Structure 1
């Protein structure tokens, strides 16, 4: 019999958290499966449960009266009545007789009509019971008594010492400290169960969320813990799973409900993927956030980082290696005028240049650019299959063509032979440019240009297969990237704008 509060609590828990019938019963400790289903159907049909609970009788009045009449008409034997009719129990039949036919029930008394057994007869029966090679029911029938009566005689006549001496037990006697041994055995069973639970949690974590088996289960997120618990609910109780993972029950049900809710970042995920793919898969979360901000979409950088991590939007790079292109002195070197100060207050004040190589299956390609330290704009560039003087000369001629008459920038380079041969020096003097060189074998002195090469190769060259690509196709692809770098690729230090857009915002170019 359950109160109204107990029944309504069980139904609401079953509905609110969308649990199974078995899980609801396991959580509350009641009721039976059929009772919960019956309560749920009633609540679904009527919107509430009835408050007055009257249990329907198992037997009708006609059945009760029939049993009592049979008892009175056939010798007033309760055992025979129950055996012939198949119902009810002996106790219930005696209650029916006292209610429907008061004073008609046959009562056995200890003296008078009831058969009395002597002490010798009882001892013989007990000895037969203790030394039997058949069932106790056969012994009881032989002496004309019930099995319960036999065991009562045995209890009265024998103490534990006599009983142990008469009964041949197949089980060995337990030692005196059997209670301690049983307690220790139970403790070991609990420890084994706990260890098995921990192993199963780690195994499921490795299987479902791809975690390493050595991970601390306490360091899992609540979402990951919920996934592991749901996978083990059929084998363990919820309370012990929550205790083993260190998770509150309210947090578990919150995560289960949250997993059924639609993804609130669904549209943002699609937008982030599009931005990443449209920009050669080389934008990190800061640049993606800047693009979204420029488009008027407000969100947190942490959200963008979380989405890119979940969507596996990863920028592929390559391990750096030490590179040295120094082959000796050709002409006297000039001082390092920049001294690693690559900041410029206006365009065409400080330029940097260098030469880099791309090796693909079809051959080698070389790039020689000039970068403006003002905003990182690639002022001019030349691409070829040979690192000769013509490569750097054409780059310099094209870059100088963009200067006005009063502009004479510092052009900084390393100590490579291309920038120390007489032809290059003559061109620099003719155009009125100021030479500056890094120290011997010191790439950080030309970090601005080296940084551009690193960005270019990470975003465009590394992580891609160039098998089957001809030299002409690669040169075209490289040229397209540099144009995209100038016109569209945003820079965080420029306020999320590309170099050309930045210059237009300052009114420096049309």
Structure 2
């Protein structure tokens, strides 16, 4: 049976202080030669529960809850109270992370928490500030609750215009009366809940709405021969100096990317360029979502001219187009996110995408293709 170790009060306080600074339990144990990590956790719990009187109790001695060891005199009791308050102050400084200086807000809150336990003069000495400084800080915090004239005027303007204006227009109105920074107006409106309440306008589609095709694919992602069922979609490439878009078409027969285009504008020309890369096909179905570029008149006409049957996902159901959605996710995960290329040049973004699509088609094996790449699988079956 091991003998329980009794640690001095100073060691216990030092351990708590180190933990409050953010040091790990292991580091505390190594530096202070503490054998059991439970001890450190227990001391920290006592400190947080304001039961620091337990630091002085001997091993095996349990005092009544909420009571410490009996004091022999009033002087001893005051010493214990002062020691507890100093420990609180040290913890306050460590937790605030401001070194020897404590912010006015933290100092006032701490002084209020010990009110009646120690005189203000003594507490100010511990903080290293003058009494006048403490009272000035407290007065400033109290007066902060009083409405500022600018806040009142902003509230009046927002109410007068029935919350139709954002911070830019409110700033323009205020500048007719006073000099004010737009950032301050924005902060006040945010804090006071005075933002514009007009419904956000919906963005217009980049294509001309024409018609929505029926949902013919019905999540049947199997194809018996090449170019029988195709799926297409557009994804964002926010990794370069400007936003790029990737439009790609996948053959569900072997999961091969048979056409793709990269552009800096998500418009009908982008998807038409991808569509025009397809070879001549017969009895082919092309599935997409209901994006405006796919419902546009130009795209629909181009699909018909190629003799392709159009299919579209149901609104708000991306799972209807899962294979191409999965490919786009895999592309980003295995390139930009894996290699931490989250902020690079536009040329590098394009090159990475081109290299990966070649790798995906010709080299990357897939379990569903008997551990072969899409091109290997197509050539083997042919």
If the length of structure 2 is used for normalisation, what is the TM-score? 0.46
Structure 1 or 2, whichever has the larger Rg, is 1
If the length of structure 1 is used for normalisation, what is the TM-score? 0.35
Of structures 1 and 2, the one scoring higher in RCO (CA 8 A, sep 6+) is: 2
